């Protein structure tokens, strides 16, 4: 959530993953981490932040 109480949300996450789908799993993870952190803009979070990015190739 950001300071206005808005959630990053599944739609925004889905769009972000789609935009970077051709990149490596690590690059996708880094981009999500960056964008969520920027979105939150220092707002105190009430939950932890855990991600696993898995790419299926072939």
Tens digit of each residue's pLDDT (9 = 90 or more) over 20-50: 999 999 999 999 999 999 999 989 888 888 9
Tokens linked to 33: 């981490």
Cα separation, 54 vs 38, whole angstroms = 23
Residues in the chain: 58
Decide if pLDDT at 58 tops 90.
no
Decide if pLDDT at 53 tops 90.
yes
Confidence at residue 26, expressed as pLDDT on a 0 to 100 scale: 95
Residues 5-17: what's their mean pLDDT?
94
Confidence at residue 29, expressed as pLDDT on a 0 to 100 scale: 95
Cα separation, 41 vs 23, whole angstroms = 25
Neighbours of 32 (CB within 10 A): 18
The rounded radius of gyration (Å) of the Cα atoms in the chain is: 12
Neighbours of 18 (CB within 10 A): 8
pTM reported for the whole predicted model: 0.85
């Amino acid at each position: 959530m950001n300071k206005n109480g808005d959630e990053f949300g599944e739609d925004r996450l889905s769009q972000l993953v789609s935009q970077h789908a051709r990149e490596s799993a690590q690059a996708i993870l880094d981009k999500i981490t960056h964008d969520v952190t920027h979105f939150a803009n220092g707002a105190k979070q009430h939950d932890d932040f855990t991600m696993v990015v898995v790419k299926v190739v072939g």
